[in-house]
A and B are shown apart, each in its own frame.
Chain A
Amino acid sequence: MRARLGPLELPNPVLAAAGCAGAGRELAQFIDVARVGAIISKSIMTEPRTGNPAPRLAETPSGLLNSVGLQGPGIDAFLQRDLPWLLSHGARVVVSIAGQTVREYGALAARLSDAAGVSAVEINLSCPNAEDAGRLFALDPTTAGSVVAAVRASLRHDIPVFAKLSPDVTDIVAVAGTCVAAGADGLSLVNVVLGMAIDPATMRPALAGAYGGLSGPAIRPVAVRCVWQVAEAFPDVPIIGTGGVRTGRDALELLLAGAWMIGVGTAIMHDPSACSRVVRELEEEVAAIGADQVADVIGQAHGGHGRAARGLARQGGTAGRAASP
Chain B
Amino acid sequence: MTDPGAGPVQVRATVLTLRRVDAYHALTLVAPAIATRFRPGQFVTVAVGGPETSMLGRRAFVVHDVRPDHGGTVEFVFEALGPGTRWLAALRARDTLDAVGPLGRPFPVPKNPSRCLLLGVGYGSAPLFALAAKLTDRACSVDFLLGGPSADRVFGALSARRSGRSATITTADGSLGARGPVTAMLEQVIREARTEVIYASAPVPVLRDVTALATRYAIPVQASVDVPMACGIGVCMGCVLPVTGTDGITRIVRSCVDGPVFRADLVRWDDVGTIPFDALGAPGWKPKADGHLHAG
Q: A residues touching B (Cβ–Cβ < 8 Å)?
A: 20-22, 26-27, 29-30, 47-57, 59, 61-64, 66, 68, 71-74, 76-77, 80-81, 208, 216-217, 266-273
CB pair A29–B233 under 8 Å, yes or no, is yes
Cα separation A113 to B130 with both chains bound (whole Å): 52
CB-based A-B contact count at 8 angstroms: 131
**From B227, B231, B236, B275, contact of A52 by CB (8 A):** B275
Question: Given A26-B234, A272-B231, do A53 and B274 touch, yes or no (CB 8 Å)?
Answer: yes
Counting CB contacts under 8 A, is B153 at the interface?
A: no
Determine the distance from Cα of A164 to Cα of B143 in the docked complex, in whole angstroms. Answer: 56
Tell me which residues across on chain A come within 8 A of B296, comparing CB atoms.
48, 73-74, 77
Interface residues of B in 258-281 (CB under 8 A from A): 272-275, 279-281
Contact B287 A47 (CB under 8 A): yes
| B236 engages A48 (CB within 8 Å) | no
Stretch of B54-62, B109-117, B161-169, B181-189 with 4 or more beta carbons under 8 angstroms from chain A: B54-62
Which of B53, B100, B237, B252 has the most chain A CB within a 10 Å cutoff? B237
Interface residues, chain B, with chain A CB atoms under 8 Å away: 7-10, 47, 53-58, 98, 100, 227-228, 230-231, 233-241, 252, 257, 272-275, 279-283, 285, 287, 293-296
Closest 3 A-B residue pairs measured CB to CB? A48-B281, A57-B238, A73-B296
- Of the candidates A48, A64, A216, A266, the one whose C-beta lies within 8 Å of that of B293 is A48
Contacts known (A49-B281, A269-B230); A74 close to B275, Cβ less than 8 A? no
Q: Is the CB of B294 within 8 A of A50?
A: no
A30 to B283, CA, bound (A): 34
- Shortest CB-to-CB span from B232 to chain A, Å, is 9
- Complex contacts, A217 vs chain B, CB 8 Å: 54, 56
Interchain residue pairs with CB less than 8 A apart (26): A26-B257, A47-B285, A48-B296, A50-B279, A50-B281, A50-B285, A51-B275, A54-B239, A54-B272, A54-B273, A55-B273, A56-B240, A57-B57, A64-B236, A71-B237, A74-B293, A76-B294, A267-B56, A269-B58, A269-B230, A269-B236, A270-B58, A270-B231, A271-B98, A272-B233, A272-B235
B55 contacts across to A, CB distance below 8 A: 59
* With known contacts A50-B280, A271-B47, A21–B235 Cβ distance under 8 A: yes
B57 A59 Cβ-Cβ under 8 A: yes
Chain A residues lying within 8 Å of B283, measured Cβ to Cβ, are 50
Contact at B8–A269, with CB atoms within 8 Å? no
Residue of A nearest to B291 (CB): A76
Other A-B contacts than A22-B233, A51-B240, A66-B236, 8 sampled, CB-CB below 8 A, are A22-B235, A47-B293, A48-B287, A57-B57, A66-B238, A76-B293, A269-B230, A273-B10
Q: Which residues on the B side are within 8 Å of A50 (C-beta)?
A: 252, 275, 279-283, 285
The residues of A that contact B285 with a CB separation of less than 8 Å are 47-48, 50
- Give chain A residues whose Cβ lies under 8 Å from the Cβ of B294: 76-77, 80-81
Contacts of A81 in B (CB 8 A): 294
Assess the B238–A270 pair: CB atoms within 8 A: no
Given known pairs A47-B281, A272-B10, A273-B10, the reply for A53 and B228 (CB within 8 Å) is: no
* Chain A residue at minimum C-beta to C-beta distance from B7: A29
Rounded to whole angstroms, the CA-CA distance of A38 and B150 in the bound complex is 52
Kindly list chain A residues whose C-beta atoms are within 8 Å of the C-beta of B230: 57, 59, 64, 269
A64 partner, pick from B47, B56, B287, beta carbons under 8 A: B56
Residues of A within 8 A of B8 (CB): 29-30
Closest to B57 in A: A59
The listed residue (B7, B58, B238, B241) touching A55 by CB distance below 8 A is B238
Minimal Cβ-Cβ distance residue in A for B255? A54
Residues of A with C-beta under 8 A to B241: 54
Q: Smallest CB-CB separation from B58: which chain A residue?
A: A270
B235 x A270 contact (CB < 8 A): no
Contact A56 B282 (CB under 8 A): no
CA distance A81 to B275 in the complex (A): 24
B residues within 8 A CB of A62?
54, 56
Shortest Cβ distance from residue B237 to the other chain A in the assembled complex, whole angstroms: 5
Nearest CB in chain B: distance from A215 CB, A: 9
Alpha-carbon separation in the docked complex, A48 to B63 (Å): 34
